[in-house]
Structure formats: C-alpha cells, structure tokens
Amino acid sequence: MPFTPIHMGPGILVKAILQGSFSLLVFGWTQILMDIQPLLVMLTGEGHLHGFSHTYIGGSLIAVFAALTGKYLAELGLKILRIDKQRLTILWPVAFLSAFIGSVSHVLLDSIMHTDVEPFYPISLGNHFYGLVSVAVLHKFCLYSGLIGTAIYYVVSWRASKT
C-alpha cells in the first residue's frame, strides 16, 4: 500500500544507531517518493504497480532526488518545529546516506511482500526475496524495530543530556 508508515520502523532504528549521522525526515521523504508510482497506478489503473521505482536502479535515482530535495525540506521542517539550532543543518552526506538507506530498504521490504517487484531489473526479472518471511513477520519486524529504535533513541538522548 502506498505511503505505508510501516517502512518507518527500520528507519527509526537506524536513526537511533546513527543519531546525527542520519536524517529520519529525509528517510521518510524517500518513502513517500518511492510510492508515487504505485499510487498513480492505483489511481489510473494503468501501469505496473511496483514498477521501475521499486528496482534498485529506480530506487537509486529516487534516492538522489530525495537527498537533493529532502535536505532543504527537512531543514525547513526542523525550523518550523523549532528544533535545537545545532540540528537545523543537514549535511549532504547525511542527506544522501538517509535517502539511499530509505530507497534500498523500501525495495527490499516490498520485494519480500509483493510478487510483482523486480528488484534487480533489468538484469533479472525475478524476485528472489518474495516470501522470504511471511507478511506478518515482516510487519512485526518493522513495528518492533521502530519501538526498539524509539527506546534506544530516547535512552541515548537522556544519557547525553546528563553529561
């Protein structure tokens, strides 16, 4: 389903581990961009549901666009939210790392869940990841990684505030 928040779970865990070296906002922006093609197919009824955008090549192109646009969108969002001034600037390496982790994880997670994803197109039309685990296990992984990531993030932030 397009724009599913379940993709954010692993992103929250990565944020907890990498802290300031990862932008959850850029990661989230990438998730949205990845699902524009499926949304358009659902609205029009034409095209391949998980087409080029859900390949590693397509995802990489989307990641570049997501990093270039998401850096500025995320910085604007941080200013609007009035987040600590030290965190208002997202460095380019952080934007690109966040976007690429977002696109690669999106293709991988959707490859496990959807039969029509061809992650290695045009090299291979197959999907060797499909059914690697059940959809229920995949959803639990995403949910639990988000919960664990949230706990880790707040423990690390709390400990940092004590020093």
- Dihedral angle at the C-alpha atoms of 74, 80, 35, 106, nearest 10 degrees? 50
- Extract the tokens encoding 52: 């080029």
Confidence of residue 72 (pLDDT cuts 50, 70, 90): very high
135 within some domain:
no
Q: What's the rounded Cα separation, in Å, for the pair 140 and 131?
A: 15
Number of domains in the chain: 1
102-147 pLDDT, tens digit each: 999 999 999 999 999 999 999 999 999 999 999 999 999 999 999 9
Residues 6+ apart with CB under 8 A from 37: 47, 50, 51, 52, 53, 54
15 within some domain:
no
56 within some domain:
yes
163 within some domain:
no
Confidence of residue 86 (pLDDT cuts 50, 70, 90): low
- Tokens 């992103």 correspond to what residue? 11
24-39 pLDDT, tens digit each: 999 999 999 999 999 9
Q: What does the pLDDT read at residue 163?
A: 76
64 within some domain:
yes
Q: Whole-number mean pLDDT of the chain? A: 93
144 within some domain:
no
DSSP category for residue 126: -
Domain range for 80: 20-130
CA angle 100/77/35 to nearest 5° reads 40
145 within some domain:
no
Category of 124 on φ-ψ map: left (φ > 0), alpha (ψ -120 to 50) or beta: beta
φ/ψ of residue 81, rounded to 5: -75, -5
136 within some domain:
no
Look at 20 and 4; give whichever has higher pLDDT: 20
Average the pLDDT over each of 8-17, 80-89, 152-161 and give the range with the smallest value.
80-89
